[in-house]
Amino acid sequence: AQSVTQPDIHITVSEGASLELRCNYSYGATPYLFWYVQSPGQGLQLLLKYFSGDTLVQGIKGFEAEFKRSQSSFNLRKPSVHWSDAAEYFCAVGARTGGFKTIFGAGTRLFVKA
Amino acid sequence: GAVVSQHPSWVICKSGTSVKIECRSLDFQATTMFWYRQFPKQSLMLMATSNEGSKATYEQGVEKDKFLINHASLTLSTLTVTSAHPEDSSFYICSARDSSGGDGAKNIQYFGAGTRLSVL
């Protein structure tokens, strides 16, 4: 069965500092991988996705993520955080077969301090 | 492109009444839509998969008669919370998959802005 683990419930970084949000998944084969961002009281916005090919994927708002098969990880990174990046971040795993059901991690809340 | 509209964004109702939430894909066709429930500071809990022209598939523990889902067209799914009670108060979010494209693209979900339901 699919599962997603985001080990950090919340993270605080200083504005301008680098950011890495961790995500580990469990799936029988290579899954589809996603990172979504949610601002308070809003729906989710897709930041980036990995389907196949280059394991380093670029997304919107300056984010990138690296798929590491050996570690079953898909960590999200940003070199310099802006105050507007404060939000909830969800890693998600999508199945390649059957209903295309997506499983979301518990989320990591990012706080940005001035 | 790929915009999902969810309405209303916020609704307050009395206990015992029913509330309907609409989810529309504005610029693409969606044979499959998903309904999630999100409790404060928690992740999304999948309630059901809404399939155009057929019955919805509910997740274990979700009451079918309580949360009625209708997906009558390729661009519209509705969730009706019947006989709402205070414990149904929550943030409900819908998403839609684009029916076109390859398998990868089909996995991308486009989310509505959510509906906050408050039952008094």
A28: pLDDT strictly greater than 80: no
Test B41 with A41 for CB contact under 8 angstroms. Answer: no
* Contact (Cβ atoms closer than 8 angstroms) between residue B86 and residue B120: yes
Q: What is the pLDDT of residue A98?
A: 61
B61-89 residue pLDDT tens: 999 999 999 998 989 999 999 999 999 99
What does the alpha-carbon distance between residue B107 and residue B42 come to, in Å, rounded to a whole number? Answer: 22
Q: Residue B104 and residue A52: Cβ atoms within 8 Å?
A: yes
pLDDT digits (tens, 9 = 90+) for B3-14: 899 999 999 999
Residue A109 CB burial class (10 angstroms; 0-12, 13-18, ≥19): middle
Model confidence band, residue A43 (pLDDT cutoffs 50, 70, 90): confident
DSSP B10-36: EEEE-TT--EEEEEEESSS--SEEEEE
Selecting from A34, A104, A109 the residue whose C-beta is nearest the C-beta of B44 gives: A104
